[in-house]
Structure 1
């Protein structure tokens, strides 16, 4: 089924909890201060779109396409990104709040998280090759059987990564935050 094309449109201050979101292909669109809480975004296509100050708490994204999408100052609670369309999946997060969000088994090579708070986020079996976590704060985020090759954690803090169950070849850490790699050994360092 061909979806209608919506190109280069701007959407401001729309509450999609009250209005049903139109299933379409959105190309080069901007959404500002929109509320997608509990909205059904299933099978919608977003290409080169930007979401600024939007709330995605518990939004449904089954087979949703995100290609070259930027999320700025957005809130995500309970998002299940593993349900979206994995083909050419590409997005970045800046100044976002992510809580109880899952990226289970996704290929997120070269993804960037800039100044984000990641609280109880699931990166189980996630490919984060060349990912950048710039000035991010982690709290109970899970990295298990993830690929973190060449990933950059050097300016982030409070993460816990077990190098025995994750691939961290050539990943970058700072002297100040390297303790997150030793946490599972239950040792004290003074």
Structure 2
């Protein structure tokens, strides 16, 4: 049975369970969700600020118009999510997470730490990675067409295995795109 919460505010605490629940227009501030489960739940037009969501279980979760600000979200396997639509991560730590085989078109990762994250085989059309740190991020066989990497640092994208048509990059970081081509620049 699905439980439903609308326009609720959660300050440091939660309802007894977050599984099989729909949260609509809810606000979460400074809530510790470390190792919690949102399995089979829906988050619609929700906001999370200063929350710890590390190691969160997101199996079959639906995210529509959700914003995460200043959240710690380490070690989440987002690949088991059902839907991502209009999701924004701003000033978040998303290290050691997995986003494989997902349609993440239009997703926003602004000013985030996205270290050792796997985006393999994901659709990231028009994704925004601006001003984010991406060391160790994997983009093999992803579609990054129209993505924005301006101000992003420490990324490596092999254009032989990843589509980057019309993606935006800034100098000097953009020079790393030549690394996979094994060219010599004097």
Distance, in Å, in 1 between the alignment partners of 2:131 and 2:158 is 20
Q: Please state whether the residue corresponding to 1:182 is helix, strand or coil.
A: helix
Corresponding residue pairs, total: 186
Q: TM-score, normalised by structure 1?
A: 0.91
Distance, in Å, in 1 between the alignment partners of 2:139 and 2:116 is 10
Q: TM-score, normalised by structure 2?
A: 0.93
CA shift in 2, pair 1:52/1:188, >3 Å: farther
Q: How much does 1:189 deviate?
A: 5.0
The aligned runs of 1:40-51 (5 Å cut-off) are 40-51=37-48
Distance, in Å, in 2 between the alignment partners of 1:22 and 1:160 is 37
Partner of 2:11: 12
CA shift in 2, pair 1:155/1:180, >3 Å: same
Partner of 2:98: 102
The aligned runs of 1:136-151 (5 Å cut-off) are 136-151=132-147
Aligned counterpart for 1:52 among listed residues 33, 38, 49: 49
Higher strand share: 1
Q: How much does 1:182 deviate?
A: 2.2
The aligned runs of 1:24-103 (5 Å cut-off) are 24-86=21-83, 89-103=85-99
Q: Which segment drifts farther, 54-63 or 179-188?
A: 179-188
Q: How much does 1:171 deviate?
A: 0.6
Gap runs ≥5 in structure 2:
none
Distance, in Å, in 2 between the alignment partners of 1:156 and 1:90 is 21
Q: Which segment drifts farther, 90-99 or 175-184?
A: 175-184
Partner of 1:181: 177
Quote the RMSD (CA, aligned, Å). 1.8
Distance, in Å, in 2 between the alignment partners of 1:149 and 1:22 is 35
Contact 2:41 2:61 in 1 (8 A): yes
Q: How much does 1:184 deviate?
A: 2.8
Distance, in Å, in 2 between the alignment partners of 1:22 and 1:110 is 27
